[in-house]
């Protein structure tokens, strides 16, 4: 099976704002951004998507084009930043954000989740859902879950998750045969 990981296109949120689980809309350029992303992608037999609208719009464009099934996967949601969601990073006290930034694997923002929890959530979904019985599968999601999926597809450790930081609308292909 060929697995294609696809990051959503640019969201409509001010630079420097903390967001993860928040369901922010896409940028006004979304129709053109989605069209450009879809034009670079092969046809799919199945598309999984985070339920966030910024992922779902690209996923729907793919399923409309290919006539394939779309499955929403809540496990593919972005990291939950808890009480920091939608706050400008500059308004989050450094005495709270600096320790978290130094150890995102083990520390969570207040009311949020750790990167370890994100990894566990996505890895559990990956092990129980893939490989799907299809030739080519797309996953439309966010940077955090996509980094985890890349590591899992390549057999890499969690320490290597930051080796890839996909840009808006970027994709990567993996042969899971």
The pairing of strands 136-141 and 171-175 is unpaired
Q: Which CATH number fits domain 2-175: 3.10.20.440, 3.40.50.1240, 3.40.50.300, 3.40.50.1820?
A: 3.40.50.1240
Percent pLDDT > 90 in the chain is 95
Average pLDDT over residues 79-104: 97
The pLDDT value given to residue 4:
98
pLDDT higher than threshold 80 for residue 54: yes
pLDDT higher than threshold 90 for residue 93: yes
The pLDDT value given to residue 87:
97
The pLDDT value given to residue 15:
95
The pairing of strands 2-7 and 171-175 is antiparallel
Domain-by-domain residue ranges, the chain?
2-175
Mean pLDDT, the chain, rounded, equals: 96
Predicted confidence band at 130 (pLDDT cuts at 50, 70, 90)?
confident
User: What's the rounded Cα separation, in Å, for the pair 105 and 119?
Assistant: 9
The pLDDT value given to residue 131:
64
Average pLDDT over residues 12-27: 96
């Amino acid at each position: 099976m060929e697995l294609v990981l696809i990051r959503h296109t640019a969201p409509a949120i001010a630079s420097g704002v903390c967001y993860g689980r928040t369901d922010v809309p896409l940028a006004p350029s979304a129709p053109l951004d989605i069209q450009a992303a879809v034009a670079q992608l092969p046809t799919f037999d199945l598309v999984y998507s985070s339920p966030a609208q910024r992922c779902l719009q690209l996923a729907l464009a793919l399923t409309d084009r290919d006539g394939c099934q779309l499955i929403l996967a809540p496990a593919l949601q972005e990291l939950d930043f808890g009480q920091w969601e939608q706050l400008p990073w500059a308004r989050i006290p450094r005495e709270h954000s600096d320790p978290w930034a130094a150890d995102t694997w083990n520390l969570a923002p207040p009311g949020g989740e750790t990167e370890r929890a994100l990894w566990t959530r996505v890895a559990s979904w990956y092990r129980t859902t893939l490989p799907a019985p299809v030739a080519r599968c797309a996953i439309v999601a966010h940077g955090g879950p996509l980094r985890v999926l890349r590591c899992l597809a390549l057999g890499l450790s969690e320490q290597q998750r930051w080796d890839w930081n996909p840009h808006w609308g970027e994709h990567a292909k993996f042969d899971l045969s």
